[in-house]
Amino acid sequence: MSVAKRVGLYFGSFNPVHVGHLIIANHIVQNNNLDEVWLVVTPLNPLKNKASLLPDYQRLRLIQLAIADNTKLKASDIEFKLQQPNYTITTLAHLTQKFPSTQFTIILGQDNLQSFNKWKQYEYILANYKLLVYPRPNVPASQFDNHPNVQWIQNVPFMELSATFIRNAIKNKQDVSYLVPQPALNYINEMHFYAK
């Protein structure tokens, strides 16, 4: 079967999405033989109390606003529709069945590669999917660094920026206008997200 489309899956809570996420996603789609990168919003885990985590569809909306002018980046709610708690392997199986001619690649940071052996059915994932890994500073080597299905993303512009920093800045009434794309920031301000 020929591959019609190559899609990178970039999983995250995106609480909120920020320029660091978008720099990585845009760099990857331009430099790694992918047609699109899907920013897959991870649902709220009902077993965890994350008071600062916005509801799923509001985080999805922030991404949609942030990437509206980029046809190669897509916001995905695919995990909202799957039984919770959900695992990456379930998402991959669902997507592969739904889009049989699409080749899916997982995008993750080097810090997540460190704990990859804790992922459900990680051996199957590693054997059947490519992992595109972006380097993170001060992360030691992992047992997967040289696996044939692990591809290191070269020359990624790295920005040490976290969603926690942004949420705290908003809570403290600081300007984050250069850290969050303006359409998403307008929505955050309009809805008073993270203000308390």
Task: Print pLDDT tens along the chain (196 aa).
Answer: 567 899 999 999 999 999 999 999 999 999 999 999 999 999 975 545 577 899 999 999 999 999 999 999 999 999 999 988 889 999 999 999 999 999 999 999 998 999 999 999 999 999 999 999 998 888 888 889 999 999 999 888 888 899 999 999 999 999 999 999 999 999 999 999 999 8
d(CA 26, CA 128): 24
Nearest to 63 by CA among 41, 44, 43: 41
Query: pTM value?
Result: 0.93
Pairing of strands 36-41, 73-76: parallel
- Amino acid 48: pLDDT: 56
**CA distances (Å), 70 to each of 38, 40, 122, in order?**
12, 16, 32
Q: What token pair was written down for 179?
A: 């850290």
- Residue 180 DSSP symbol: S
Is 81 exposed, middle or buried, given 0-12, 13-18 or 19+ CB atoms closer than 10 A? exposed
Nearest to 188 by CA among 15, 24, 13: 15
Domains, the chain, ordered by start: 5-191 (3.40.50.620)
